[in-house]
């Protein structure tokens, strides 16, 4: 069992090439080291949850894969292709925009604060990229978008503008907008952290349905431990810029090995039990 998680094999034991490979990836902002020589493989269809204290670098991990942040050192491969580099005459050089554009098409991302396009209807939010990025016909894009919006339970909102939607609804649109592009890997960057507690559930259930559908690999950066435990094949604990521990949800949540993970989990459980009160007051502040 241990071998399955830590070794170079995909979760179902069949030998497969990873869809994403981080190799000695580091990131610093000025003199602050956010990530330090990270090695990480994600297999096709695998669901990886990333947990850890804020500032542990977990969001940066996803943002580098989405090409929103450039690694300071190391390489990332997507589907066997280097993401931030390209080979020119046997030498690795920084990737140009065209190369980034090609590789980026395999990655999709959902943000903490949704970032829907406020000037477009819900339907257009979802059809815009298929039409203008993938070159799909309007009819086909619309059909696919409507299908996606039905899956996330928003068929009745297609003609509304984002400002008329609740946070949970907005996030579900954002999920539909990203998934309709059919990426190989979906990144969820604290997708429920900005939501009122009562709206978290609807978004998590949409993500669960997507996870159950299977074929997409997912990297979920999350503070929802129960959720991580439920859908992840593998949980990764990051702290101070390193992957401190990884394993199945059972291993991580029930038999944590490192003192840092133990401390993190106990701290987390404390705040969890002491109440939704604190959580609720935080989200109230945000509003």
Partner 1 sequence: MWDWSYAFQILPELANVLPITIAATVVGFAAACALGLPLSLARKSNYKAISYLALGWIEFIRSTPLLVQLFFLFYALPLYGISFSPFAAGVLGLGLHYSTYMSEVFRSGIDAVPAGQWEAAKALNFGKRRTWTNIILPQAVPPIIPVMGNYFITMFKETPLLSAITLVELLQTAKAIGSGSFRYLEAFTLVGLLFFLLSYPSSLLVGRLEKRFQRK
Which positions lie near partner 1, rule CB under 8 A? 66-68, 97, 101, 104-105, 107-109, 111, 113, 115-119, 128-129, 132-133, 177-178, 181
Task: Give the residue with the Cβ less far from partner 1, 113 or 223.
Answer: 113
CB of 220 to partner 1, least distance (A): 16
Q: At closest approach, how far in Å is the CB of 147 from partner 1?
A: 18
- Min separation Cβ 270 and partner 1, Å: 32
Residue 244 near residue 36 (C-beta atoms within 8 A): no
Residue 116 or 206: the one with the smaller Cβ distance to partner 1 is 116
CA distance 35 to 242: 6
Cβ proximity to partner 1, 25 vs 110, nearer residue: 110
For 119, other C-beta atoms within 10 Å of its C-beta total 9
Q: Residue 284 CB, nearest distance to partner 1 (Å)?
A: 22
Q: Is 7 exposed, middle or buried (0-12, 13-18, 19+ CB in 10 A)?
A: exposed
Q: What angle do CA 268, 216, 110 make, to 5 degrees?
A: 55
Answer positive or negative: Cα dihedral of 262, 247, 228, 129. Answer: positive
Query: Rounded distance, CA 106 to CA 103, Å?
Result: 6
Q: Which is nearer to partner 1, 58 or 177 (CB)?
A: 177
When the beta carbons of 24 and 101 are compared against partner 1, the nearer one is 101
In the complex, minimum distance from the CB of residue 18 to partner 1, in angstroms, rounded to a whole number: 21
């Amino acid at each position: 069992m241990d071998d399955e998680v830590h070794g170079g094999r995909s979760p179902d034991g069949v030998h497969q090439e990873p869809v994403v490979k981080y190799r000695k990836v580091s990131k610093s902002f000025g003199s602050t080291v956010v990530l330090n020589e990270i090695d990480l493989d994600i297999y096709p269809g695998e669901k990886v949850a990333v947990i850890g204290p804020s500032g542990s670098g977990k969001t940066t991990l996803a943002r580098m894969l989405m090409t929103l942040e450039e690694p300071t050192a190391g390489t990332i491969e997507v589907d066997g292709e280097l993401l931030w580099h390209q080979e020119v005459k046997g030498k690795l050089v920084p990737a140009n925009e065209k190369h980034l554009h090609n590789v980026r098409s395999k990655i999709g991302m959902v943000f903490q604060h949704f970032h829907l396009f406020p000037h477009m209807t819900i339907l257009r939010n979802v059809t815009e990229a298929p039409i203008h990025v993938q070159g799909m016909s309007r009819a086909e894009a619309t059909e696919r978008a409507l299908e996606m919006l039905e899956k996330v339970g928003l068929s009745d909102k297609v003609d509304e503008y984002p400002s008329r939607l609740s946070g949970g609804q907005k996030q579900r649109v954002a999920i539909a907008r990203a998934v309709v592009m059919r990426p190989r890997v979906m990144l969820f960057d604290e997708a429920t952290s900005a939501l009122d507690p009562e709206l978290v559930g609807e978004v998590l259930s949409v993500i669960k349905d997507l996870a159950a559908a299977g074929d997409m690999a997912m990297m979920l950066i999350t503070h929802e431990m129960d959720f991580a435990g439920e859908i992840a094949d593998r949980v990764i604990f990051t702290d101070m810029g390193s992957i401190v521990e990884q394993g199945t949800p059972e291993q991580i949540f029930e038999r944590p090995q490192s003192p840092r993970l133990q401390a993190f989990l106990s701290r987390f459980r404390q705040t969890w039990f002491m109440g939704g009160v604190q959580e609720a007051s935080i989200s109230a502040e945000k509003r």
